[in-house]
Structure 1
């Protein structure tokens, strides 16, 4: 047994007392093993232990050990929400005199000020962009922690994470590297890549029982439990049984629609309380989604998916942690690191639709991520995870494949041409490589090259280099051109830049719609799906054909134009409710697509300025309009804090069309339009030096 006080050999008394004040006295067995294997002596380490078994504490100890000896730490996470959660948690280290920073957005910023912090939290994309943009402090990192390192296997996030790790290890050869995950089958392979140790354990602070739900039977490898049949729906019987025992429950659904439907069904079986009503009244948003969510929250249930606004998701998570929300029906994204354990977890559907592949069973690794959320340390004597079957034969299949099965190995996804276009250009533009030989040496140090046949990687790189030379982003001697350097800093796919250049040059008189369509044609843009009710699209395309880009694939054209039309409605101040209805999207989707569109429009502005494409001013104004969701004439008013598009329109309609107009306004009149508090804030800002029309 190892106690926290035994760590006095490595850490000062102030750190020991900080953890003792949190009630941490003894280390869990996997934590003790990591210490014994050299974690606090600077050894690189892959730590693969279940959720709630203390991975984050080990990362904290290593970072504190580094910070108190003058080393800077970088903590990489996959999601912005997880970055915010970690920032809030690590901020307690300010008591030790340490500074904690966070950076998740604006991929073109160098963020030199971040380097003043002892511990920096960032997404892998932001960390990658900091390297590209030459932040000097990334060359002085002493400890690198990669949370959810199994995402090396992700086709979307994996290549960026892998290249970021590769470059950071190249820049900081003495840096300690720590990878955290609940599910790694081939952890030894990743540990060998980072030249480190592997700590792998099934130990959990709360016992987990995994089984299958069939009708009202909870079937475990070591026995069965029969639920009381209070309802025709076995899921509701399971919910009621869990809540009656004082527990909480997560229900994983394959789609957002299913999650919303299940939350509504569960809410009908639960009772309102003063706490749940109060929580529902705190919910932000006025659209259909917000109303559905509020109705569920009033009964202590909720749905949780990427279509919600960030503040809505945060409220649900807070309600669950405070035990006000009893049941969350969610999509699998909730399992990606957020700290929301429950007494019971139900995986209601183990199949998921994948574009081009149809409906497929989820990997065992994903099942383990969800199942691992069962069991609340300090609250539950045990946790139960169940996967739902519809028949006896399916029960046995699920028991064999998921409950008793082993997770799949993690495989690098670096060799995709789309990923390599971006990362090869970034490698050359940031002068990590100045020749084919040096590029080959860097790529030979990737996880892909260690794990798989590097000849395929070499072929893909050769194809990418040919594209970059043809696109005038690098010279044949692997020198970046000014265009290539700019595209790398903008953090867009080089193919996106080529689409922008070619399409703008191909249209005689580009309009607002032209520019919106062009950015939707890029591979970086998330497109809306076309539904049967979208029969208006063909008429729209016919009416605006002279303004649209040269898209030859009609199916893609429909999706692009639908997305561009939605953005047009957004900047023309159509109410969010109408946008959600017309385009069948959730508020979170609207925010996310608008953020991506703003980023791409800003990139188009910079490329137009560099290439003299003739749309520089229009693109610059459009990026601002997308940011605010407002007309061009409101942009000056929107510079004021507290003034969004609705208040700006009210001011404009009342005759206040510039900052000079507002400076001359009567305080009582502004109070009538904006309310006293907002009016006071506006007047205060207008008095600040430098604020002028």
Structure 2
């Protein structure tokens, strides 16, 4: 069955000319029906084509398709892969947290590509103009739907798909690796029997021979890695000698590099006939194309590594050369198992435990293990593929059971029910206990609860929900009307949902706001950093023994109280980032921790803005900017200006220029004198003009006041820059008199009461801060003598 016969107008959208047996059997259900579809099939059997068939049907009818990719790294691959649709004048648009969203492009896109997390965030904000495009979806393709069983991420996928179906009721096409309980997924998605497909191992293009191999676990984890590496090479060697290829999965990017270097030496020592050093053309091509020295040297010996930290060009070349057979032994992280179709005759999982910067050492998920092993066997080259799990003897039976029985897909919603229930209440989709039950009936959790009532405590479901609601009420996220039992979210609950926070973290942030607003506590940068370092999102961060000296050195002079080792590590990374000097011992986890921390600080800033005031919110904004840019406090405000990065901000601050007002006053000539080129000076000057800039006019403010006398004076605060939300505060001798929020456009009069008090001297200060900008607070002071 040729593609051109079935879909002549979309023939160029497919990477092949003929459908295989599995695709042919699923084709009528996808093209001749509008029912939801669930298809379970072995890895590498061609499931992607099923997604593309569903997308083509929607596009032919003038509709919009949404593809939910399991990992962020794969969204970019889909964008590249689906240039084929672009060539047919259909637009593909990727929406991820790493890119600035263009709502207009998203609205006009024919194919949207998103991760579950980004779709969750977008559907929570579907009523906003920015994210309204998510309610206009005609078909939703869920790639690797068995991720429902993934820790934390699974519940996000589950509630998001349920929410999307309530919002716009798209056709759903769910694709999965082989799983025993495909009927439960079909029941959840209302896919009838005729469009529920369970393709067994006989649909694999190449048979799989999978097993478990053990190694002797020692005291030294570093030495253990090499024991497992030699075990992996032992398993791969016969296939390498027989013109096969081997793919070895390891736990981290750094490990792919180290394993490849060590394997090159070992392969040479064993005199395995590999490599293309005699191929002058390939030698010249790799030398010219690769910037990574280690990779360039390795590929000539037929060994390479692949991870998301390589440039796109390098990843593409490694994939190309592996497919062409130039690379015979490839070390990779798990991302490759979920993404590019790159089978090998032999697949070895060297590491079954991984170090997660946020979770510490954890077991690799069973889903990842099965996905990796599914890459064994090259269609058209091999009759059988070989897959091996290398593990400690104590884990061997666990993996043998996994390979023998597979993995039933469970719901993970119960683990985070409070968080997701709070999100639905905050959105206004749930307003009563009965509506909670209606919502639950749309989830995979409800379906699995019917299949396994005892394991899911299904008979007590209503009681579980009631307890969950009472907990949300008690912790201040939800309010319940005592008369009609209606429920609605509090500001705390709305903010927790909007900023995607765990409830424990949201409660901590709200308590900090209470201390500032109700108790009058002065918020310091240390308070912001500690609130984030102790957030539940970082509760599993661990500090290795080799990191502890660097942590202590970074925190010298700072009181860390009762913080645990992992919390101190997060705090040290944030302090180092704010100063632009993260210790090398902490560098491997620093990027992930910093990225999560800036998101949390941004959320804390929103809490402070709503619950404690603009001055506290501005402090959080400055702390966030310091961590992102690594600049000193006096330079942080300049990073709000376009064209001003960390180096330029520090340079200008050293010249005494710390605010947009200073930049504008200095003028282009002054900026050139400060060391900027004329072109850059012009850009910085224009950028400064696009930010607020404040002037103070104290008018007829007195210099003295008699004891017992008083008068009210007017101070004018004038914004000569761009309008912005602001907080204006008046203090006398450090004690707050008034504080107001305003949208500062032009000028505003601030009343200041001058009272003859017991003090001999009164110092009045008017301070202006901008909660949405990292600008330094601007203040002006007048002193009045009491006579």
TM beyond 0.5: yes
Once the two structures are superposed, residues 351-380 of structure 1 have per-residue CA deviations (whole angstroms, 9 ceiling, x without a partner) of 67999x9999867654321111124456x4
Give the secondary structure class of the aligned counterpart of 2:82: helix
Give the secondary structure class of the aligned counterpart of 2:492: helix
Q: What is the CA-CA distance between 1:82 and the residue it aligns to?
A: 0.9
Give the secondary structure class of the aligned counterpart of 2:138: strand
Distance change >3 Å, CA 38–CA 650, structure 1 → 2: same
Partner residue of 1:466?
470
Q: What is the CA-CA distance between 1:634 and the residue it aligns to?
A: 3.9
Give the secondary structure class of the aligned counterpart of 1:78: coil
Partner residue of 1:598?
598
Alpha-carbon distance in structure 1 between the residues aligned to 2:255 and 2:187 = 42
Distance change >3 Å, CA 510–CA 303, structure 1 → 2: farther
Q: What is the CA-CA distance between 1:472 and the residue it aligns to?
A: 2.7
Q: Is the 8 A contact 1:152 1:410 kept in 2?
A: yes
Alpha-carbon distance in structure 1 between the residues aligned to 2:245 and 2:189 = 39
Distance change >3 Å, CA 256–CA 132, structure 1 → 2: same
Give the secondary structure class of the aligned counterpart of 2:573: helix
Distance change >3 Å, CA 668–CA 121, structure 1 → 2: same
State yes or no: 1:33 paired with 2:25. yes
Partner residue of 2:166?
170
State yes or no: 1:88 paired with 2:80. yes
Q: What is the CA-CA distance between 1:239 and the residue it aligns to?
A: 5.0
Distance change >3 Å, CA 619–CA 468, structure 1 → 2: same
Distance change >3 Å, CA 397–CA 509, structure 1 → 2: closer
State yes or no: 1:443 paired with 2:440. yes
Q: Is the 8 A contact 1:107 1:490 kept in 2?
A: no
Give the one of 664, 668, 671 matched to 1:663. Answer: 668
Partner residue of 1:131?
123
Once the two structures are superposed, residues 197-252 of structure 1 have per-residue CA deviations (whole angstroms, 9 ceiling, x without a partner) of 3222235574244245879xxxxxxxxxxxxxxxx946445556555666543212
Of 76-85 and 136-145, the range deviating more from structure 2: 136-145
Larger Rg: 2
Of 624-633 and 473-482, the range deviating more from structure 2: 624-633
Q: What is the CA-CA distance between 1:280 and the residue it aligns to?
A: 4.7
Give the secondary structure class of the aligned counterpart of 2:56: helix
Distance change >3 Å, CA 390–CA 90, structure 1 → 2: closer
Distance change >3 Å, CA 85–CA 531, structure 1 → 2: same
Structure showing greater relative contact order (alpha-carbon pairs closer than 8 Å, 6 or more residues apart): 1
Q: Is the 8 A contact 2:513 2:611 kept in 1?
A: no
Q: What is the CA-CA distance between 1:264 and the residue it aligns to?
A: 2.6
Q: What is the CA-CA distance between 1:147 and the residue it aligns to?
A: 0.9
Distance change >3 Å, CA 137–CA 538, structure 1 → 2: closer
Alpha-carbon distance in structure 2 between the residues aligned to 1:485 and 1:234 = 52
Partner residue of 2:543?
530
Distance change >3 Å, CA 595–CA 234, structure 1 → 2: closer
Q: Is the 8 A contact 1:159 1:414 kept in 2?
A: yes
Give the secondary structure class of the aligned counterpart of 1:623: helix
Give the secondary structure class of the aligned counterpart of 2:180: coil
Once the two structures are superposed, residues 583-614 of structure 1 have per-residue CA deviations (whole angstroms, 9 ceiling, x without a partner) of 2x42xx32221111111101111100100165
Give the secondary structure class of the aligned counterpart of 2:38: strand
The gaps in structure 2 that reach 5 residues or longer are: 215-228, 269-274, 278-282, 481-485, 694-787
State yes or no: 1:118 paired with 2:110. yes
Partner residue of 1:631?
632
Distance change >3 Å, CA 648–CA 302, structure 1 → 2: farther
State yes or no: 1:561 paired with 2:561. no
Partner residue of 1:161?
157
Alpha-carbon distance in structure 2 between the residues aligned to 1:399 and 1:159 = 24
TM-score by length of 1: 0.79
State yes or no: 1:97 paired with 2:109. no
Q: What is the CA-CA distance between 1:99 and the residue it aligns to?
A: 2.0
Q: Is the 8 A contact 1:75 1:145 kept in 2?
A: yes
Alpha-carbon distance in structure 2 between the residues aligned to 1:647 and 1:184 = 55
Q: What is the CA-CA distance between 1:487 and the residue it aligns to?
A: 2.4
Distance change >3 Å, CA 68–CA 597, structure 1 → 2: same
The gaps in structure 1 that reach 5 residues or longer are: 216-231, 284-291, 672-678
Give the one of 485, 490, 504 matched to 2:499. Answer: 490
Distance change >3 Å, CA 656–CA 471, structure 1 → 2: same
Give the secondary structure class of the aligned counterpart of 1:415: helix
Q: What is the CA-CA distance between 1:31 and the residue it aligns to?
A: 0.8
Distance change >3 Å, CA 363–CA 294, structure 1 → 2: same
Give the one of 463, 475, 484 matched to 2:479. Answer: 475
Partner residue of 1:622?
623
| CA RMSD across the alignment | 4.1
Give the one of 527, 530, 553 matched to 1:514. Answer: 527
Alpha-carbon distance in structure 2 between the residues aligned to 1:191 and 1:88 = 31
TM-score by length of 2: 0.70
Alpha-carbon distance in structure 2 between the residues aligned to 1:600 and 1:399 = 37
Report the count of equivalent residues.
Answer: 631
Partner residue of 1:187?
182
Give the secondary structure class of the aligned counterpart of 1:442: helix
Distance change >3 Å, CA 499–CA 359, structure 1 → 2: closer
Partner residue of 1:573?
580
Partner residue of 2:386?
385
Q: Is the 8 A contact 1:40 1:65 kept in 2?
A: no
Q: Is the 8 A contact 1:247 1:326 kept in 2?
A: yes
Q: What is the CA-CA distance between 1:505 and the residue it aligns to?
A: 4.5
Give the secondary structure class of the aligned counterpart of 2:545: coil
Alpha-carbon distance in structure 2 between the residues aligned to 1:462 and 1:399 = 39
State yes or no: 1:142 paired with 2:138. yes
Partner residue of 2:370?
368
Alpha-carbon distance in structure 1 between the residues aligned to 2:35 and 2:19 = 19
Alpha-carbon distance in structure 2 between the residues aligned to 1:88 and 1:502 = 46
Q: Which structure carries more strand by proportion?
A: 2
Q: Is the 8 A contact 1:247 1:343 kept in 2?
A: yes
Give the secondary structure class of the aligned counterpart of 1:373: coil
Partner residue of 1:281?
291
Alpha-carbon distance in structure 1 between the residues aligned to 2:237 and 2:286 = 17
Alpha-carbon distance in structure 1 between the residues aligned to 2:499 and 2:460 = 28
Alpha-carbon distance in structure 1 between the residues aligned to 2:171 and 2:133 = 16
